Structure 1
Amino acid sequence: MSDEDLRHEDNLIIICGKHHDLIDDRKNEAQWPAELRRQHKRDHENRFRSAERQLIAQFVDSTQATQPTYPKTLKALAKASNWESMFNDPDQIMGITSFIDKLKELPLSEREFAWRLAERMKRRGLDVLPTDDVEGAFNIDSEELKRRMGVLEHHALGSVDDGTGYREWNVSLWSRKHGNNPWIEILEFCEVTRADPAEFIHDLNFGSYDG
């Protein structure tokens, strides 16, 4: 076998110095025939491939597990919200589609958090919530609130903004284009139709807006 053949990828194996000396010693040729060396190479490579696959499997984007169903007419939403002109309105359909495109990329835990914020806003009849109120209600500290709202702001879905008083800050969920707070819109639709908000927020099934 030529030196070039010996250096071919098929004949290369990474081993420790001790084993390299043993295998390379011509006195040990009989103990290390070519087929045995090839088997060791296969075993080594398979072990590292398995470890590589396990590492890759750890980093799965959970937001891609479910793909959205987009509404086409908004017939059911128009009826539930008493907004008849919404039916087949391209601006309204586009506004909700834009919200869905942002929502589908939002991490699941932040979807859940925004959902609960919207429930509290709706229950209290408020468009914004003071940060102190949110921290107390959800038993979280300012750092966690800042982190979660930072993710929502990154996805253009919410933010923490200056309040009207001294050192006052408010949590807000942004309105969708051509509409209002899309999270509360989901809750109000589900209240009328008895649908499950999780169907929209987690399953991304907005086909129910058509009926």
Structure 2
Amino acid sequence: MAKRANGSEKNRKEPLPGVARRLWAFSGNECAWGDPTCSTRLVTEEGAWVGKIAHIIGAEPGSARHEAWDGKDAEQLRDFDNLMLLCGVHHDLIDSSVTRHNYPVAYLRAVKQRHEARYRYTVDDIEAEFSDTVSGSQVRPATTMRRFFAWEGADQDPSDEQYVLELVNRFAGRVGGLTRMARQVLALVVHERTTDFPLVLRRFSAHRDELLSVVRELQKAQMVYLHDEVDDEDRGQLSLLSGALEGLDEMWDALRGFCRDESVDVKEILVDLDFSRLD
């Protein structure tokens, strides 16, 4: 535990477990600064992390806005509501002894709330659908889908984008509930559009009854359907169903096109459950 020179404990510690993840999920990979908005990416195209976690109420005596602390629960100083993600410039601006007085607690809380509201997919839904592991797998949700929306080229209202984001993340939760083999079959059918049952048997070196069990799992999830050829399952075809997409009927084609044009392996999304590839 961190100590001051005089032996007393320091208030400034690492964020509470899960807090950094929530800050990132609601950041949209952008500095939270507003008025005017700062579009600095927190992770650069080269993959470098340039964001900084800033305290609204400073944790240590003499730090920015520390005088606003009621002196009771030091843990609150490293909890979600007291932290925000900023670029290096704005982080230093609000903490500098020269400029900190321009940025009171109420102002910074409003900046944080306004920015995070654009990207918030409710904490309860995120925890329910993505923090828990299903069959040993963990889903990484999309946080903005900006890459997908840019590829799509549609000039959508932010509220419409948020609506699509929430639907896709609910769909991601359903995919996470499938067995790994079912996700592998789903990825193959999405990639091929329509797939012969015998081809899938050969691809997976699967026993017929095992594959039929996987197909039934996918049919129940309203994702894939086996069209029998004259009631002969061994000559049937696997086709996509859109029931699990909740009104996003064109999403299968869009996902296929996005992966092709953006050089993303559809298996990374549907098998490895990394829906952040859409961001």
TM-score by length of 1: 0.52
Corresponding residue for residue 148 of structure 1: 214
User: Hey, what's the Cα distance between the residues in 1 that align with 2:223 and 2:215?
Assistant: 9
Q: Which has the higher contact order (CA 8 A, sep 6+)?
A: 1
Corresponding residue for residue 75 of structure 1: 146
> Does the 8 Å CA contact 1:159/1:173 hold for their aligned counterparts?
yes
Q: CA deviation at 1:181?
A: 5.7
User: Hey, what's the Cα distance between the residues in 2 that align with 1:77 and 1:145?
Assistant: 32
- Percent of aligned pairs sharing the same letter: 17
Matches within 5 A, 1:17-56: none
Corresponding residue for residue 108 of structure 1: 180
Q: Give the aligned CA root-mean-square deviation in angstroms.
A: 3.3
Corresponding residue for residue 47 of structure 1: none
User: Hey, what's the Cα distance between the residues in 2 that align with 1:192 and 1:86?
Assistant: 24
Alignment counterpart, residue 189 of structure 2, candidates 117, 135, 140: 117
1:145-197: per-residue Cα shift (whole Å, max 9, x none)? 4222111123332222467xx54754222221222364554332222222333
Corresponding residue for residue 241 of structure 2: 174
Corresponding residue for residue 98 of structure 1: 170
Q: CA deviation at 1:109?
A: 1.2
Tell me whether 1:198 sits opposite 2:270 in the alignment: no
Q: Is there any run of 5+ residues in structure 1 with no aligned partner, and where?
A: 1-61, 122-127
Q: CA deviation at 1:129?
A: 4.6
User: Hey, what's the Cα distance between the residues in 1 that align with 2:258 and 2:170?
Assistant: 18
User: Hey, what's the Cα distance between the residues in 1 that align with 2:183 and 2:177?
Assistant: 10
Q: CA deviation at 1:106?
A: 0.7
1:41-79: per-residue Cα shift (whole Å, max 9, x none)? xxxxxxxxxxxxxxxxxxxxx844332222233221112
Corresponding residue for residue 65 of structure 1: 136
> Does the 8 Å CA contact 1:161/1:171 hold for their aligned counterparts?
yes
Which one is further off, 95-104 or 82-91?
82-91
The one-letter amino acid paired with 1:150 is R
Q: Is there any run of 5+ residues in structure 2 with no aligned partner, and where?
A: 1-132
User: Hey, what's the Cα distance between the residues in 1 that align with 2:250 and 2:207?
Assistant: 25
Higher helix share: 1
